[in-house]
């Protein structure tokens, strides 16, 4: 996270004092891959999928990995003249594969809907959360497995979540003060196969990107 923000903020150019807003309007949206090292993050269910629409929650948190993987603050505003900063951000994340484990049936294919997706950054001072209810339905196709687990590929799997000016400003403040930061992602899911009840599921994120825009 520090690296991509550092690059983004260095792209601003020093002009006369008081011209921050004018400078910001000249800065195009900046897109950076793998924010907070989310590529490869594994969102896992903490409990088994429940019947009645076979629903559950999957999550990933850098503060709970083993070992924890927090990231440091950005030194700001030294890297940016005249206080130019973004006031909008958009995170895109792809679900690249899934693993289903436990005592349930493993269908050859099934559909799963991401009802809600949250991405958050936090430090000792608080947190900023980007949320969306995409109602994104993906098709999972079995590619291999054993008696107790199955691996699935995923189609049509990009989720996009955006932040308004207030949330973006809070996120930038977290990233530039208050010490070590953590990132998390949570998805609320519903599957269309009752036979999946009683299993756990783990999704792997890939090709995540963050776009910063609306500089002023």
Interval 156-175: pLDDT, tens:
789 999 999 999 999 888 88
139 contacts 154 by C-beta, under 8 angstroms: yes
**C-beta neighbour count of 145 within 10 angstroms:** 14
Domain boundaries, the chain: 2-215
* pLDDT beyond 80 at 145: yes
Distance CA 142, CA 137 (A): 16
Instruction: Say how far apart CA 67 and CA 161 lie, in whole Å.
Output: 28
Report the share of the chain in percent with pLDDT over 70: 81
Per-residue pLDDT of 110-133, as tens digits, reads 999 999 999 999 999 899 999 999
Token couple for 199: 């299993």
Residue 25 has pLDDT above 90, yes or no: no
**pLDDT-based confidence at 109, cuts 50/70/90?**
very high
Cα 3 to Cα 56, 62, 72, 89, 175, distances in angstroms? 34, 17, 10, 16, 11
Q: Smallest Cα–Cα separation from 72: which of 123, 23, 35?
A: 123
The residue-averaged pLDDT of 78-96 equals 78
- Rounded CA separation 106/152 (Å): 10
Report percent pLDDT > 90 for the chain: 41
In 12-85, beta strands by DSSP E: 30-33, 42-45, 55-61
């Amino acid at each position: 996270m520090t690296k991509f923000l550092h690059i983004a903020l260095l792209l601003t150019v020093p002009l006369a004092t008081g011209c921050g807003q004018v400078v910001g309007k000249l800065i195009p949206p900046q897109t950076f891959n793998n924010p907070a090292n989310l590529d490869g993050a594994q969102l896992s269910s903490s409990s088994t999928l429940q019947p009645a629409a076979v629903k559950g929650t999957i999550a990933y948190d850098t503060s709970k990995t083993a070992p924890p993987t927090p990231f440091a603050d950005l030194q700001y505003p030294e890297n940016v003249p005249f206080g130019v900063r973004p006031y909008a951000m958009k995170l895109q994340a792809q679900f690249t594969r899934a693993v289903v484990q436990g005592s349930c049936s493993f269908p050859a294919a099934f559909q799963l809907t991401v009802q809600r997706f949250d991405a958050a950054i936090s430090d000792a001072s608080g947190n900023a959360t980007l949320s969306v209810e995409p109602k994104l339905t993906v098709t999972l196709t079995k590619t291999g497995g054993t008696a107790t687990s199955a691996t699935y590929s995923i189609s049509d799997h990009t989720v996009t979540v955006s932040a308004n000016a207030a949330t973006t400003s809070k996120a930038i403040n977290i990233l530039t003060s208050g010490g070590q930061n953590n990132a998390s992602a949570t998805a609320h899911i519903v599957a269309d196969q009752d036979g999946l009840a009683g299993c756990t599921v783990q999704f792997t994120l890939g090709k995540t990107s963050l776009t910063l825009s609306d500089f002023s």
